[in-house]
Chains A and B, each alone.
Chain A
Amino acid sequence: MSAVRITGGKVLDPANGEVGVERDIFIRDGRIVASDAGDGATETIDARGGIVMAGAIDIHTHIAGGKSNIARLLMVEEQRAIREPSGPFCACGGGLSTMTAHATGCRYVEMGYTAAFEPAVVGANARHMHYEMGDIPFLDTGGYLVLGNDDFLLDLIASGAGQQAVNDYVAWMLAATKCMAIKIVNPGGINAFKFNARKLDLDEANPHYEITPRKILTTLIRAVTELGLTHPIHLHGCNLGVPGNEQTTLDTIAATEGLPLHMTHVQFHSYGTEGDRKFSSGAVKIAEAVNKNPNISVDVGQIMFGQTVTASADLMSQHRNRGIATPKRWIGMDIEMDAACGIVPFEYKDKSFVNALQWAIGLELFLLVEDPWRIFLTTDHPNGAPFTTYPHLLRLLMDKPFRDEQFAKLPKSARKHSILNELTREYTLEEIAIVTRAAPAKILGLTDRGHLGAGAAGDVVIYRDDPDREAMFSKAEYVLKDGKVVVKDGEIVEVVYGRTHSVAPDYDKSMDAKLDRWFDEAIGFKAKTFKLQDHEIRDGQGTVVHATKRSA
């Protein structure tokens, strides 16, 4: 038995209504308990003067899979320049926008993150994704399965097979790939690019299947609602990065008709066409729509200035963007009747009008969306910036004078198009605990994470209460993972591994025969080869399966 007592810290646990309450936290055998075991075997951590929070959770970060490996291959200079510091723990990885599995876990946990979710698992690549996630230390993980461009689904919808068949297929795919939620990337658009379409608006028909993104989106929203998944559809919408896409985003919100939808990296979907450069901020309109529609949640996908690499399943958009690749190289792939990927290195420059305005649009969204339970802290790692910029982003949100100082450095042309310096809001520590802990756990259905109540996982972080919030959130004083101290004074002291989370709603077993035939005929290998088995997850540990309404 192991027991830890964290004493004297100010506990910030919005999920349980505690805001800066000074009390002790007890952890026994990896879980938070109500009181001390009282057997003297307890390790005591003095947290006086510190802030105690649950481990942070990133709901959208590209940390694994084929596209990450392509990014590493393309960004070999970055891999050479940034190697993991040498020390007792491995030190063989590296990278920043292209971090290796080991470096990913280390950099996250030093900041107090103990869970991170990969938002773009292409079915054909799911096995790779799981093996790679298993090599990321410290973090609990899980993946969102990309659907909405897969030929089997589009064929089901186009042939009028009905909602029930779609639901069964979605459930079959979740079980086969051991994923946590459903992601849609440019619904129907990636598929349309395979038939040589170059753009696809919400109400434009796919050239082969003659169904619209709206139809795909609403069908899949219904499917996850009826299957009872906690996480709503995680949507990367149509027209990413296209000036004027604010209208598509507003139309998409309207299309949900009140059913839950999570819109990811919404910054990239909040662009207007005003001004002499025909590029402007749509943040006010988008935030207003989010505020009015309680069924909508968003994560921002904040950009930060510097070199990064953009990795997306949206090959249609990435092909459009190939000309702006810096350095001048990019890789695209059509993938296995499933989806695609496009990897384009990119440097966001503060002197660029467009990039400066993107930066401001992201912050405007953060400050204008009122409900902290429906907005999440992301940079769409590595697409907007590496996740290591989170502490800087937190300071921008919490410290208006600091934010104004940064804003003042931008080109005048960009400042003229932003209302950022008129926004006086500063995020409170409580709000930060919501957007990085409580709300992510809630929207993912992780009932034992993101809070410090009895029964919660022993993922606990102690921060020094530093008025420089960037310094405070860069290195935690202590991080405990499942009750074990893994970070002390910002340094890793022990390496441990987390678990993988999934859902497995039940489906009508007649779907098995249909998919057997589909795999034999169309894909050219067997459905049973495609399906992941429990013994393949984390050396035989299997996944942590979360309940859904239609459970097996």
Chain B
Amino acid sequence: MTDVAGGGITHHDVVCPFCGLGCDDVSLRVQGNAVEAGEGACGRAAALFRRSADPVPSARVMGREVSLDEALAAAAELVAAARSPVYGGLGTDVDGVRALIKLACKTGGSVDHYASAGLFRNISTSQRKGWIATTLAEVRNHCDLLVVIGPDPSRDFHRLYDRITPPTGRFIKGKRKVVFLGGAPSEEARSQLDGVEIETIPVAEGELLDALSRLQGLISGAPEVPGGPDLAAFAAGLKGAHYGVLAWSAGMLGGDGDLIVERASIIVDILNVDTRAACLPLAGRDNLIGANQAFLWNIGFPLRTAFRGGKADHDQLLNSTEEALKSGDLLIWTSAFRPEQPPAFEGQVVAFAHPDTSFEREPEVFVPVGQPGLDHRGLAFRTDTVVSIPLGGYRDAGLPSIATVAKGLRERLS
């Protein structure tokens, strides 16, 4: 749906690609290169969609403005000479990821997404032991008791409660309840939760894991272990809920995040013997989940996989961008959704990045790229891993997609 007025075009029901909730009720006003988000966009999305009317920057090699062709030729030289390329960022749609996989297969090197830390906390548990998880619409309709573990995820997932815990749900009898265990809702979250019963159970810093262990004991019927806070009534509430959901944003959990995730999934496992319960592990900014999914179906491994001598192998510690950069000599940074700065690195940098990216140090090669969901169509995945969202193209500022650029680079390599 589009309206034309005052020289600009307003697009309605635009799908938002940024946080992983996949809201699809955003309106975008586009006039030439200028973009302004209106109704539906949360504050963060509005800032990320906003563009000025200025022409987009041109590609650069060593800070000198060049054509796309020259930039790709320079990038090809660097890639061909690199011993150990590191593919970082990966903020791109599924087609971009597919193209980068093909490129990395050819050049060798490790591949990771810049926001994958939380995802790998979740994978540590899901891969080793498994869990029962759920999706946004299941929570919305079935969940009578939502437990938010740790810091309020709505800092990263702005409209979370609007989307998953409106006051009424199709199958919920009585009032829906949200319990914040070891965290507190922001003011914004409280206003989204208007009409929902809210309880906060404060947990002393660093004691969340201990609290979950005690909760697990109570749920399995073991005698209560002394210690604060008192969780007996909360445990009884969970056991009595029809469909309890334990949610967390693993990226926000502290150093013992892996163990907190594991504990939460065990609690859900025990609850499912007598009633229904599920995990809602939140992670997924800038199509992190889509990148991971495309890796799994194409390569068989999750992200943090390296290609060496024509073979792929996965190691979630060694192939993280941070670790890989310690021995890498070239960083190929891809970030199309937002002007995310590449990490500090002394080696050479090729950046296929958002036109507004500011660099601490000018990269050897910079190609400004279009944003999926604004400059071109694409596919991204929602945080719950099941639903994928079609992104639209709403302006033509002359910016190529990462898929196009990665393909162009691969074709220049012999």
Contact = CB atoms under 8 A, between A and B. Distances in A.
Interface of A: 64, 66, 68-69, 72-74, 76, 79-80, 83, 86, 90-95, 98-103, 122, 124-125, 127-128, 131-132, 135, 151, 193-196, 208, 319, 325, 328-337, 343, 522-526, 528-529, 532-533, 535-536
Contacts of A66: 293, 385-386
A195 B386 contact: no
Contacts, number: 176
29 contacts: A64-B297, A66-B385, A69-B296, A69-B297, A83-B311, A90-B105, A92-B101, A94-B299, A94-B300, A100-B298, A101-B297, A124-B386, A125-B386, A125-B387, A128-B293, A131-B379, A131-B388, A194-B276, A328-B129, A329-B128, A333-B132, A334-B132, A335-B138, A336-B386, A522-B140, A524-B136, A524-B140, A533-B390, A535-B377
Contacts of A151: 141, 170
Nearest to B133: A333
B300 A337 contact: no
B131 interface: yes
Contacts of A131: 94, 294, 379, 388
Given A331-B130, A336-B135, A526-B13, A92 B307 contact: yes
Contacts of A132: 297
B174 to A, nearest CB: 16
A41 B153 CA distance: 66
Interface of A is mostly: mixed
B40 to A, nearest CB: 11
B142 A194 contact: yes
Nearest to A83: B311
Contacts of A73: 123, 126-127, 296, 302
A72 B296 contact: yes
Contacts of A103: 300
Nearest to B101: A92
Contacts of B386: 66, 122, 124-125, 128, 333, 335-336
B65 interface: no
Contact of B300 (A64, A86, A95, A330): A95
Interface string B136-148: 1110111000000
A29 to B, nearest CB: 28
A86 B132 contact: no
A124 B133 CA distance: 15
A69 B299 CA distance: 10
B24 interface: yes
Contacts of A333: 132-135, 278, 386
Nearest to A75: B300
B207 interface: no
B327 interface: no
B24 A79 contact: no
Contacts of A193: 276
B144 to A, nearest CB: 12
A331 B126 CA distance: 7
Interface string B152-193: 000000000001100000110000000000000000000000
Interface residues of B, number: 62
Interface in B21-37: 22-25
Given A86-B311, A522-B141, A334 B387 contact: no
A336 B299 contact: no
B410 to A, nearest CB: 13
B130 to A, nearest CB: 4
A435 to B, nearest CB: 29
Given A79-B300, A522-B141, A196 B133 contact: no
B130 A74 contact: yes
A-B pairs, top 8 by smallest CB distance, nearest first, are: A79-B300, A332-B132, A69-B296, A329-B130, A331-B130, A529-B24, A330-B130, A336-B135
A343 B131 CA distance: 10
Contacts of A95: 300
Contact of A331 (B23, B133, B381): B133
Nearest to B242: A196
A73 B301 CA distance: 7
Contacts of A325: 130
Interface string B240-258: 0011000000000000000
Contact of B278 (A98, A195, A334, A528): A334
B313 interface: yes
A194 B307 CA distance: 42
B42 to A, nearest CB: 15
B297 A523 contact: no
Contacts of B302: 73
Nearest to A329: B130
B132 A525 contact: no
B171 to A, nearest CB: 7
A506 to B, nearest CB: 24
B272 interface: yes
B313 A80 contact: yes
A80 B135 CA distance: 30
B297 A135 contact: yes
A129 to B, nearest CB: 10
Nearest to B25: A526
Nearest to B313: A80
B293 to A, nearest CB: 6
A325 B377 CA distance: 41
Nearest to A67: B386
Contacts of B314: 76, 79-80
Contact of B390 (A74, A100, A536): A536
Nearest to B140: A524
Contacts of A124: 135, 137, 386-387
B14 to A, nearest CB: 10
A103 B23 CA distance: 35
B125 to A, nearest CB: 10
Given A195-B171, A336-B135, A337-B137, A93 B311 contact: no
Given A73-B296, A74-B126, A333-B135, 18 more contacts: A66-B385, A66-B386, A69-B293, A79-B301, A80-B314, A86-B310, A127-B387, A127-B390, A135-B98, A329-B128, A333-B386, A334-B132, A334-B133, A335-B138, A336-B138, A336-B387, A525-B24, A529-B22
A205 B65 CA distance: 70
